[in-house]
Amino acid sequence: MNYQRQTISNLNLGFESKNFYSILGLYIFSLGSLVGGYAFYLLLESTGIVDTKVIAWNGQGLFWFLILLCFAIFILFIPIEFINIFKLYNSNFRDLVSNILYVIVFSLLSLILFQILFSAETQILSDLKSITRAVSFSGFIAIPLVLFTQHNLRENLFLLDKFSYSITLILWIMSSQIFL
């Protein structure tokens, strides 16, 4: 009985700033990447390379391209300038649980926030709402599985620990594409 009491008290899931900022940076990078990709799609539509489905005229497409490109660049500079943590700390069970909780909390809060902020007045705002929803759903479903898999395979694959941040970011972007 004493042993059980000691193990439960040793499992402290307190606030870890390194995990918090690492997951926040991953979320912001994936959101900025998808918004930047959508901006380039609008550029392709306005130049006539792809069939027009979103914009009504070329000026509208160029206007939204510039706005979304500047917004994506701004979003992508937030983790570089302010967070500055590019390592995913996932070496013990405490880090794994805190990372999964942070991913779910960020995804839930951003899903609620962006669903309130973006009204579907135009097709472009509706698409941006879908992009933010896809990033959040990916954070709910795919990223906890990725974090769990990385935690379990890090002892067998030595390079996984070194490139875990990049792998998680790439898989977050790719799994967000599935939810679009």
| Full DSSP string of 1-17 | -HHHHHHHHH------H
**61 has a pLDDT exceeding 70:** yes
According to the model, what pLDDT value does residue 67 have?
A: 93
Among 113, 88, 90, 59, CA closest to 169: 88
- pTM (2 decimals)? 0.84
Q: Taking residues 105-109, what's their average pLDDT?
A: 92
What's residue 96's pLDDT?
A: 87
Question: CB under 8 Å to 145, separation ≥6 — which residues?
Answer: none
pLDDT at 89: 82
Residues 139 and 171: beta-carbon distance below 8 Å? no
Give the DSSP H/E element, type plus range, for residue 65.
helix 58-78
The pLDDT assigned to 136 comes to 93
Query: What's the whole-number average pLDDT of the chain?
Result: 85
pLDDT for the residue numbered 75: 93
pLDDT of 115 reads: 86
When pLDDT is averaged across residues 87-104 and rounded to a whole number, the result is 86
Q: Is residue 44 scored above 80 in pLDDT?
A: yes
Which of the four pLDDT bands, split at 50, 70 and 90, describes residue 10? Answer: low
Percent of the chain predicted with pLDDT > 70: 91
Q: Packing angle between helix 123-153 and helix 164-179, nearest 10 degrees?
A: 140
pLDDT (0 to 100) of residue 20: 86
Kindly calculate the radius of gyration of the chain based on its CA atoms and give it in whole angstroms.
19
- Length reported for the chain: 180
Give pLDDT, residue 9.
Answer: 47
